[in-house]
Amino acid sequence: MILATEKSGSTSHGRVHSVPVGNADSKPVNRSAEVGAYFQDLKRSRLLSDQDEQQLFHSLAELKQVVEHPTDSRTSASMVRNAKNQLQAIRNQIVEANLRLVPAVAKQYTGPGRPDFQDFVSEGNQVLIRAVELYDVNYGTRFSTYAVTALKRAFMALSRKQYVHQQRFMVGHDESLDDVEKLEGHQTPVLTAEEDRRIRELLRVLDERERFVVSRRFGFTAEHRSLTYREIGEHLHLSKERVRQILVRALGRLREEAELRQLLVTESDEQQ
């Protein structure tokens, strides 16, 4: 079905297959149809009741004790081997029953400038497997709640990584404009009062130097004038490269803060 088991030495590891992508030697395929079939396959997986889920995780805990801490000579090699096989079977069962969580959460993070949906699914599958390993029924919450939180954190981190990569390219390109075209700065559009308030509120997460760089670079000042890296560096007695590094770091922090606030809003809406 969706899961396959690979063996490495004496230990088994479950691996979740990603969305089908075909190969270079095969005939052209209908990608939308393949992805649709993948999600239909997920929907056929049986959901676990609260009672079933607790029983499975209790069994996992007991089997881990047998595998990791054999107590006496009566725990034979065959018993440990059987326990490992049962462990893998239960892990697969839990993961399969919750695989639909991955695309359900991933679709909240797709959009322009974000990683591909398939990247989210691939990352999410691994996060789900890890969540099965870390979850404890004593947390007092269902596994799905625990897994969704882990997926959201992972997808936010993946989006942030993509964003920082893009900003490095954009900022690096802008740096070349300073050197080649000798730009002296430009006027930025005047913001509305509400836009200005939101930006200033968001900038509070930055330290004083980061706020200075961002506000001067993008013209969030009374003059609405964007300064070059060289001009900002002269104010701070820093090189242009150091100013660029500060800007990249600050943009990453702002992105993380903005996504966190959006996540809180989304979760609040879901609870209503």
pLDDT, tens only, 224-255: 677 888 999 999 999 989 998 998 888 887 77
The larger pLDDT score, comparing residue 166 to residue 129, is at 129
238: in domain? yes
pLDDT for 12-58, tens place per residue? 344 444 444 444 444 444 445 545 555 666 666 678 888 899 999 99
pTM over 0.75: no
Which domain range does residue 239 map to? 183-271
pLDDT score recorded for residue 81: 86
Inter-residue contact 225 to 218 (CB < 8 Å)? no
Please tell me whether residues 56 and 156 are part of one structural domain. Answer: yes
| Measured distance CA(231)–CA(250) in Å, rounded | 18
Q: What is the pLDDT of residues 160-189, one digit of tens each?
A: 766 554 554 444 444 443 443 343 444 444
CA angle 34, 35, 36 (to 5 degrees): 90
Same domain, 144 and 15: yes
- Domain co-membership, 124 together with 202: no
For residue 173, being part of any structural domain is answered with: no
CATH at 111: 1.20.120.1810
CATH code of 234's domain: 1.10.10.10
Q: Do 167 and 248 contact (CB within 8 A), yes or no?
A: yes
Q: Does residue 201 sit within a domain?
A: yes
Q: Any bridge partners for residue 225, and if so which?
A: 187
Least confident of 149-153, 196-200, 239-243: 196-200
Span 58-101, pLDDT tens digits: 999 988 888 887 776 566 788 888 989 999 999 999 999 999 89
Residues 129 and 82 in one domain: yes
